[in-house]
Amino acid sequence: MMTSRSRRRTGVSVLTLAVAATVLGAPAAQAAPGPDPVQLTLNKLVSEDKFPAALASVRDRDGRADDYAAGVADLESKEKAPADGYVRIGSNTKTFTAVTVLQLVGEGKVKLDEPVETYLPGLLRGEGIDGRRITVRQLLQHTSGLPEYTDFMAEGFLPFQHTYFQPRDLLDMALKKKAQFAPGAKWQYTNTNYIVAGLLIEKVTGRPAVEEITKRTIDRIGLRHTFFPNVGDQGVPAPHANGYHRDDPAKPVTDVTTFDPSQAWTAGQMISTPSDLNRFFAALLDGKLLKPQQLKQMRTTVDTPQLGAGSRYGLGLSSIKLTCGGTAWGHGGAIPGYYTSNGVTEDGRAAAIAVTHLPATLPAHEHVESALDTALCTRF
């Protein structure tokens, strides 16, 4: 379901990431430049990995940006996919949620190492689960040990395509199970953490999490194509490429562009475009959303063996080492119908990609992952 670069598996709970690349043209005296590497990468994702569409937005350190698309927006009409169209961004939502919590920390309304019990008394109780032993930091860092609620879709997503879930419904599913481990004992990517973070935002501010996230992140930096769908909003704005999903690999894909994303809430409900994702993460790293101390805390990472070599996780923000040197910061996300991957570097490069079906195989997942490295390193 919703994700970061955390798990290396596919299906409804598949996790995240990746993108594409670009090069400068050859001097006039030389032969015409070859095909753009970004476009080639997207074309392969469509032709070889069978994604219906692939979109990319890539920016160099000087701020020059290009948008790309391959494949079709609709498998029936075969209409060309729009460059920089709207997509569901899945677990990239977690970064927006984490920023909002960290802003409250900067305002002195929340303390990272205070127990969740301080803000949500009596909420977290269960077998091995006690909110008096779980800190706010552990929620944002995925070291709380809380069980995963998304297992209710283990047999498939499609029966729940138009089902509305209250946030407490999601948390109650998790609390019926025992803790995965003692708080702080290890790292395990778990969507439940960010459902609790959303409830914390609401309790501390006295306002809906949707409103607070919008005001404190989207509106603050002027994102024009990013939003948190409100209750009952099941659509994706135009222009967009349709999202597709299959529960059974032996059956045809189903168009899931329209569905109720409340199953993801503050762990993965948001919609954006590849270029707006780049703007958000660039503004975050530039210090436009958090005070220096809170940004430092967000970028303080723990070891995450599940993410692969060179990857680590902070507070709603992950890092990955690039083959050309340096580190990219982002998150990525997966939700039925869409799979997004993104990263920004210290020197201002940014890349984001979206495909319109969850990766069906491990190689397809790896191809999307490696495309991010290609994009950022080509713009090096």
Cβ(84)–Cβ(275) below 8 Å = yes
Distance CA 183, CA 42 (A): 41
Q: Which residues pair with 56 in a beta bridge?
A: 68, 353
Distance CA 125, CA 360 (A): 36
Distance CA 41, CA 104 (A): 40
370 part of the active site = no
Q: How far is CA 144 from CA 90, 135, 136, in A?
A: 21, 7, 9
Say how far residue 319 (Cα) sits from the centre of its chain: 13
Q: How far is CA 107 from CA 59, 112, 281, 333, in A?
A: 33, 12, 21, 29
The two tokens of residue 256 are 């899931």
Residues 6+ away with beta carbon under 8 Å from 172: none
Q: Which of 57, 91, 275, 341 is catalytic?
A: 91
Cβ(98)–Cβ(54) below 8 Å = no
DSSP 8-class letter at 311: E
Distance CA 354, CA 340 (A): 4
User: Closest by alpha carbon to 14, among 5, 25, 22?
Assistant: 5
Distance CA 287, CA 268 (A): 23
The two tokens of residue 87 are 């997509």
Q: Which residues pair with 244 in a beta bridge?
A: 255, 337
DSSP string, 98-157: HHHHHHHHHTTS--TTSBGGGTSTT--EETTEETTS-BHHHHHHT-S-PPPSGGGGTT-S
Say how far residue 263 (Cα) sits from the centre of its chain: 15
- What positions carry a catalytic annotation? 91
